[in-house]
Amino acid sequence: MTHPAPPPRRALVVGASRGLGLVLAEELARRGWQVVATARADRGGLPAAVRAVGGRLAVETLEVTDAAALAALRGRLAGRPLDLLFVNAAIDRGDRPIDEVPTEVFTEVMTVNALAPLRVLAALRGLVVPGGTVAVMSSEQGSVSLNTEGGYELYKASKAALNQLMRSYATRHADDGHTKLLIDPGHNRTRLGGPDAPLDPRRSVPAVVDVLEAQAGTPGLRFLDRHGAPVPW
């Protein structure tokens, strides 16, 4: 007697027009996941990715700082339960001491890197099935204990704020049964990471997906690197 194949796992990757988010969406689709990937108006490399993986990848437009757009996306995805909600959103506005950062730049970076991901989780977490995973792309740059070298003070602060807000989120939703992850993917050659970064996303992101799949079903919050090792807070 043959048994029907299990339904494909479903993922939503927020912030996937380029860089790590794009490679993550592609890698999940190649592994058989049904993936919805979001981008701003500029969809970057997503159209090519859709062609490469066929019907396993769909694209939605989303500006993560737009509450109305988030609500509209939630409505469009109603009835499509998710096994994974992954938020990848970050900007960098240069390497200046914090006292030289204009207030509007500080506000922009903190809004995109720390506030917006938690607003995305708040808006979309109801789509995640019991036992599913909510994950956010963080960085070891957000580790307070590892901050022993100078530079990029605003970016580091934004990632530390993200990590702290994610801990608050995990405390508030401790009983929802979701796996909660902050992921440090390492220093990758992307627009954000720069051309001299040591890691190739095509090599590092599959390791990240290995971690996501291995951690699925484990409740609580963990801050892990691409090898699944804990990152110190």
What pLDDT is attached to residue 196? 73
Sheet holding 57-61, edge to edge: 57-61, 34-39, 10-14, 82-87, 128-137, 179-184, 220-225
How does pLDDT run along the chain (233 residues), one tens digit per residue?
A: 555 667 899 999 999 998 999 999 999 999 999 999 999 877 778 888 888 887 899 999 999 999 999 999 999 999 999 999 999 988 999 999 999 999 999 999 999 999 999 999 999 999 999 999 999 999 999 999 999 999 999 999 999 999 999 999 999 999 999 999 999 998 877 767 777 777 888 899 999 999 999 999 999 999 999 999 999 99
Phi and psi at residue 149, to the nearest 5°: -120, 150
Q: How many beta carbons lie within 10 A of that of residue 5, not counting itself?
A: 7
Q: Are 188 and 200 in contact (CB under 8 A)?
A: yes
Domain spans in the chain, listed from the N-terminal domain onward: 10-225
Q: What is the CATH number of domain 10-225?
A: 3.40.50.720
Query: Residue 2, class by beta-carbon neighbours within 10 Å (0-12 exposed, 13-18 middle, 19+ buried)?
Result: exposed
